[in-house]
C-alpha cells in the first residue's frame, strides 16, 4: 500500500518469551558446523543415485559407467593432472560468479568476460613492441591486460544496472553472445586481417612470444600450468576481501538488504559497479592464465560452455570462495573423466552433464535433500540470505 502503517507481522507477535530463544540458538549451533558441507555432499549422493537409474534405464550398467568415470577422473597421476588442468579455468570463472552473488548480483557473463580477457591477452601479447621483452615482465603485463579486458566487459552490465536498473542476467547473457561473435570475427577475419595469424591454417591469433608462458607443473596435453595456483590464491584473497574488509561488509550488506545499505550511507550503485567490474576482472584473469599457460594463442570457440558451468559451481559452493576450490575441481574432473567413461562403456559424455545438472538441482533446492535425508534447517548461511530476485529493477 502507499502507506506503511506497521512493521510487526501478525505472525511474529512479541510475547517476550526470551527463554524460548536461547535453547533455539543452542540447537542452531549444533547443526551449523556440518550443514554447509553436508547438504552439498548429500546432493551429490542423491544425484549420482538418480543418474544411475537413468543410465540403467537406457540399458547401460551404472556401476561400470561410474567406475570408468572415477578412474577417468583420478585413476592415475596423469589423469589427476588432467582433471586439475581442466578445472583451472573453472575456478576463476566460478569465483567471479560467487563474488557477484554476495552482492546480490547474478553474473552469468563469466564466459564472455573470460573470453574478452583471453582475447586481450592474446592481442597485447602480439604487439611488436613486446617482441623482445623478457617473459618475467611480459607475463604479469599480459595477465593485467586480460584482467582489464574482463573488468571492462563486467563493468558494462554493472554500470547499466546501477544507472538504469537493467537486470544483469539479461545484459550479461547478451554480452556473452556478442563477445563470442565479435571475437570470432576478429580472430577469423582474413580481409582485413585483424587478429588472425596469417601463417596458421586454422583461424587463430598469433602466438605471444614463446618466453611469455606460465611455468608448467605437469607437461601433459593440455598442460597443468601454474595458472591454477594463481586461481587458488585468488580464492583466498577474495575470501579475505569479502569477510574481513570494510568493502566486503558493504558488499554483503548490499547483497542482503540494499535499503539498509542506503540508509547506512553505503554507496549502493558504486558497490554494484565495482563488484561487477571486479567479477569480470577475475574471469578475465582466468582467461588470461589459460592462454599463457597452454598454447599462447586463442582459437575461437575454445571456451564454450565454461559460462553456465561456472554458475553451477558457484551455486554448489554456496558462493563461498573457499568452497569454490573443491567444487570446481570436482566439476572439472567429472568432465575430464567422462572421456574414459565414453571410451569404455560407450555412454555419451552428456550423461555426466545430466548428473551435474541433477547435483545442481538438489543443491539449489536443498529442501529436497533435507527432506529426503531428514536434516533440520540449520543456521542460514550467506547463500540463503542473499537477495537476488529483486524483480527486474523497475520501481526500486
Partner 1 sequence: MKIEQRRTIGVLFGILGIVLVGAVAPNLDSASRAFTFEKPPQPATLSFTPSVLVIAIGIIFILTAVSTFAGPRAERWSKIALGTSAVLFLPLIVIIGLALSTSTSTNVIQLMVESLRLGTPIALGAMAGLWCERAGVVNIAIEGMMLASAGVGFTIYATMGDANQTSWLWISIGCAVLTGGLIAALHAVVSVSFRVDQIISGVVINLLAIGVTGFLRSELIVPSGSTSGVPTSNIALPLLSSLPVVGDQVFTNKPIFFSMFVVVTLSWFILWRTRFGLRIRSVGENPHAAETLGVNVIKMRYQAVIVGGLIAGLAGAWFSMESQGGFQDNMTNGAGFIALAALIFGKWRPSTAFLGAMLFGFTRALGSRLQILGVEVGDFEIPSELWQSLPFVVTIIVVAGAVGRAMPPAADGVPYEPSR
Partner 2 sequence: MGEAGNVPVLQARGITKEFPGVIANEDVDFALNQGEIHCLLGENGAGKSTLMNVLFGLYQPTRGEILVRGQSVSFSSSADAIALGIGMVHQHFQLIPVFMVAENVVLGDEITNGPLLDMTTARARIVEIAERYGLDVDPDALVGDLSVGEQQRVELVKALFREAEILILDEPTAVLTPGEVDEFFEVVKSLVDKGKSIVFITHKLREVLAVADRITVLRNGRTVGSADPKESTAQTLANLMVGRDVTFEVDKKPAEVGRPRLEIHNLVVTDERGLVACDDVNLTVRAGEIYGVAGVQGNGQRELVEAVTGMRHPDSGTVQVDGVDITRANPREVFGLGVGHVPEDRNRHGLVGAFSIADNLVLNSYHRPPFRKGFVRQTAAIDQNATELIERYDVRTPGIDVAVSTLSGGNQQKVIIARELAGDDAVLIVAQPTRGLDVGSIEFIHSRIVEMRDNGAAVLLVSAELDEILSLSDRIGVLYRGKLAGEYDRADTDREQLGLVMAGGAGT
Q: Is 265 in the site for partner 2 (CB under 8 A)?
A: yes
Q: Is 190 in the site for partner 2 (CB under 8 A)?
A: no
Residue number with CB closer to partner 2 (30 or 244): 244
Q: Is 390 in the site for partner 2 (CB under 8 A)?
A: no
Of these, 170, 264, 372, 388, which contacts partner 2 (CB under 8 A)? 264
Q: Is 164 in the site for partner 2 (CB under 8 A)?
A: no
Q: Is 358 in the site for partner 1 (CB under 8 A)?
A: yes
Q: CB 32 → partner 1: shortest distance, Å?
A: 21
Residue number with CB closer to partner 1 (60 or 133): 60
Cα gap 146→175, rounded to integer Å: 17
Of these, 350, 372, 377, 380, which contacts partner 1 (CB under 8 A)? 350
Q: CB 267 → partner 2: shortest distance, Å?
A: 8
Q: CB 389 → partner 1: shortest distance, Å?
A: 4
Q: Is 182 in the site for partner 1 (CB under 8 A)?
A: yes
The pair phi, psi for residue 169, each rounded to 5°, is -60, -50
Question: Residue 175: which of partner 1, partner 2, none does it interact with, CB under 5 to 8 A by kind?
Answer: partner 1
Q: Is 343 in the site for partner 1 (CB under 8 A)?
A: no
3-state secondary structure the chain: CCCCCCCCCHHHCCCCCHHHHHHHHHHHHHHHCCHHHHHHHHHHHHHHHHHHHHHHHCCCCHHHHHHHHHHHHHCCHHHHHHHHHHHHHHHHHHHHHHHHHHCCCCCCCHHHHHHHHHHHHHHHHCCHHHCCCCHHHHHHHHHHHHHHHHHHHHHHHHHHHHHHCCCHHHHHHHHHHHHHHHHHHHHHCECCECCECCCCCCCCECCCCCCCCCCEEECCCCCEECHHHHHHHHHHHHHHHHHHCHHHHHHHHHHHCHHHHHHCCCCHHHHHHHHHHHHHHHHHHHHHHHHHHCCCCCCCCCCCCHHHHHHHHHHHCCCCHHHHHHHHHHHHHHHHHHHHHHHHHCCCCHHHHHHHHHHHHHHHCHHHHHHHHCCCCCCCCHHHHCCCCECECCCC
Of these, 193, 260, 349, 388, which contacts partner 2 (CB under 8 A)? 260
Question: Residue 216: which of partner 1, partner 2, none does it interact with, CB under 5 to 8 A by kind?
Answer: none
Q: Is 391 in the site for partner 1 (CB under 8 A)?
A: yes
From the list 41-49, 135-143, 174-182, 251-259, the region that binds partner 1 by CB under 8 A is 174-182
Residue number with CB closer to partner 2 (139 or 261): 261
Residue number with CB closer to partner 1 (97 or 235): 97
Residue number with CB closer to partner 2 (17 or 210): 17
Of these, 167, 196, 204, 225, which contacts partner 1 (CB under 8 A)? 167
Instruction: Determine the angle formed by the axes of helices 110-125 and 77-102, rounding to 10 degrees.
Output: 110
Q: Is 6 in the site for partner 1 (CB under 8 A)?
A: no
**169 and 160 Cβ atoms separated by less than 8 Å:** no
Residues at the site binding partner 1, with contacts judged by CB under 8 A? 10-11, 58, 106, 108, 160, 163-167, 169-171, 173-175, 177-178, 181-182, 184-185, 189, 191-192, 305, 308, 311-312, 315, 348-351, 353-354, 356-358, 360-361, 364-365, 367-368, 388-395
Residues at the site binding partner 2, with contacts judged by CB under 8 A? 1-8, 10-18, 20-22, 24-25, 244-249, 252-253, 256-257, 259-260, 262-267, 379-380, 385
Amino acid at each position: 500500500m502507499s502507506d506503511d502503517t506497521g512493521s510487526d507481522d501478525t505472525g511474529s507477535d512479541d510475547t517476550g518469551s526470551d527463554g524460548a530463544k536461547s535453547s533455539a540458538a543452542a540447537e542452531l549451533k549444533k547443526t551449523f558446523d556440518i550443514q554447509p558441507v553436508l547438504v552439498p555432499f548429500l546432493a551429490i549422493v542423491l544425484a549420482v543415485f538418480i543418474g544411475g537409474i537413468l543410465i540403467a534405464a537406457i540399458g547401460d550398467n551404472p556401476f561400470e559407467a561410474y567406475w570408468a568415470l572415477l578412474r577417468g577422473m583420478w585413476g592415475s597421476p596423469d589423469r589427476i593432472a588432467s582433471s586439475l588442468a581442466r578445472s583451472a579455468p573453472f575456478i576463476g570463472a566460478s569465483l567471479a560468479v560467487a563474488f557477484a552473488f554476495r552482492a546480490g548480483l547474478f553474473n552469468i557473463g563469466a564466459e564472455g568476460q573470460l573470453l574478452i580477457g583471453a582475447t586481450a591477452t592474446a592481442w597485447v601479447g602480439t604487439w611488436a613492441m613486446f617482441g623482445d621483452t623478457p617473459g618475467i615482465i611480459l607475463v604479469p603485463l599480459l595477465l593485467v591486460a586480460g584482467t582489464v579486458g574482463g573488468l571492462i566487459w563486467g563493468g558494462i552490465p554493472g554500470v547499466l544496472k546501477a544507472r538504469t536498473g537493467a537486470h544483469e542476467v539479461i545484459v550479461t547473457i547478451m554480452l556473452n553472445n556478442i563477445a563470442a561473435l565479435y571475437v570470432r570475427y576478429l580472430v577469423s577475419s582474413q580481409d582485413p586481417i585483424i587478429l588472425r595469424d596469417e601463417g596458421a591454417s586454422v583461424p587463430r591469433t598469433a602466438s605471444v612470444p614463446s618466453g611469455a608462458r606460465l611455468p608448467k607443473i605437469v607437461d601433459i596435453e593440455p598442460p597443468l600450468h601454474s595458472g591454477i595456483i594463481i586461481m587458488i590464491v585468488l580464492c583466498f584473497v577474495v575470501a579475505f576481501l569479502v569477510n574481513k574488509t570494510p568493502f566486503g561488509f558493504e558488499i554483503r550488506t548490499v547483497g542482503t538488504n540494499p535499503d539498509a545499505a542506503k540508509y547506512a550511507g553505503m554507496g549502493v550503485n558504486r558497490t554494484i559497479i565495482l563488484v561487477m567490474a571486479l567479477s569480470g576482472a577475475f574471469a578475465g584473469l582466468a582467461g588470461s592464465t589459460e592462454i599463457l599457460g597452454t598454447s599462447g594463442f586463442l582459437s575461437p570457440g575454445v571456451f564454450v560452455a565454461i559460462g553456465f558451468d561456472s554458475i553451477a559451481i558457484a551455486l554448489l559452493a554456496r558462493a563461498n570462495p573457499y568452497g569454490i576450490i573443491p567444487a570446481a575441481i570436482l566439476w572439472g574432473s567429472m568432465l575430464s573423466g567422462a572421456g574414459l567413461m565414453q571410451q569404455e562403456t560407450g555412454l555419451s559424455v552428456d550423461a555426466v552433464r545430466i548428473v551435474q545438472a541433477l547435483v545442481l538441482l538438489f543443491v539449489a533446492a536443498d529442501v529436497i535433500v533435507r527432506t529426503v535425508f531428514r536434516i533440520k534447517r540449520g543456521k542460514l548461511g550467506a547463500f540463503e540470505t542473499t537477495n537476488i530476485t529483486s524483480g527486474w529493477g523497475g520501481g526500486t
